Amino acid sequence: MEDAVKIAPSNSVLVSDVAFEKHVTGFGHPEQPARNKAVLKALDNAGISDKFRKVEPRPCEDSDILRCHSGKYLNTVKADVKAGETQLSTGDTAICPASLDIGRLAAGATLAAVDEVLAGKAFNAFCVVRPPGHHATPDKGMGFCLFNNIAIAARYAQKKHGIGKILIVDWDVHHGNGTQDVFYEDETVFFFSTHQSPWYPGTGEREETGKGKGLGSTLNRPCPAGSGRDKIVENAFGQDLLTVMNRFRPELILISAGFDSRIGDPLGQFRLVDEDFTSLTGIVLDLAKEYADGKVVSVLEGGYDLNGLGKASVSHAQKLLNA
């Protein structure tokens, strides 16, 4: 019998572009263009960048955005950018003349990653993109987010690739309220989040578990300031998530990879260290191997200490490469 054909040339793809630095947020803004550069430079300095196969992002279409956002909101973004506004009218998200195009590119990067993974060309993908997305609700951009990149990726995987059940895990220090809102009444997408509470944006209580057909498909594990490995890695991910996945059994796993949950981040008060992101990634990869043929797409969310962001991203990326 012939040996099974292995995925080549790399089990992992990296989707990014220097164009993401064109989304300009203003002097002193924590969600700055240097974030993109910091991650890519850290991967290069660690000697692992070349181990990824590089995939160029493509802009998403209006139809991709409209699977998760209202037409009214999309028109608002277009109008605000065209008018030369520096702040999105719906919330605390800085914009510039390039923001609409770069927002499309960020969401489109996740679609390119989904295509690679679901076509069997890679086991997993890491999308180093900005602006982030998990705070963007169907009708409102907020929290530095324009379009909900990971939600758009999930709907695309279902629509274009016929995927049934999808798990989204979010370890950003801030609750992914936008992602929760998109799928709150949907039993086909399970949303799992660890996040600091009380903290921005003020959502994500344990009692928020879904609604209607989606009841039971949202699992929030809010944690107090100062939380670290025991509460987040060992208890929430290592026990609670594993337990519920025995029932849900996802066909694809998406990661909202927010590294502002790392110790020392200026916008969070968690105490995760770089090795903890290795462990979190490993837990997700093991789940993917058990239920989803190893298929994982990771999308950058927060992380505002540039040095810490780079180090945590390296730990995450190295584990993806070793899947």
Active-site residues, by number, are 135
- Asked whether the beta carbons of 152 and 252 are under 8 A apart, the reply is no
Q: How far apart are CA 191 and CA 177, in angstroms?
A: 10
Q: How far apart are CA 229 and CA 237, in angstroms?
A: 10
Q: What is the DSSP letter of 281?
A: H
- Asked whether the beta carbons of 137 and 310 are under 8 A apart, the reply is no
Q: How far apart are CA 75 and CA 213, in angstroms?
A: 30
- Asked whether the beta carbons of 205 and 175 are under 8 A apart, the reply is no
Q: Which of 312, 190, 196, 189 is nearest to 257 (CA)?
A: 312
- Asked whether the beta carbons of 140 and 127 are under 8 A apart, the reply is no
Q: How far apart are CA 293 and CA 253, in angstroms?
A: 10
Burial class of 124 by CB neighbour count within 10 A (0 to 12, 13 to 18, 19+): buried
CB atoms within 10 A of CB 119: 9
How far, CA to CA in Å, does 23 sit from each of 4, 29, 51, 129? Answer: 44, 12, 27, 11
Look up residue 239 and give its amino acid.
Q
Q: Which of 194, 245, 199, 248 is nearest to 222 (CA)?
A: 194
Phi-psi group of 191: left, alpha or beta (phi > 0 → left; psi -120 to 50 → alpha; rest → beta): beta
- Asked whether the beta carbons of 123 and 9 are under 8 A apart, the reply is no
Q: How far apart are CA 19 and CA 13, in angstroms?
A: 18
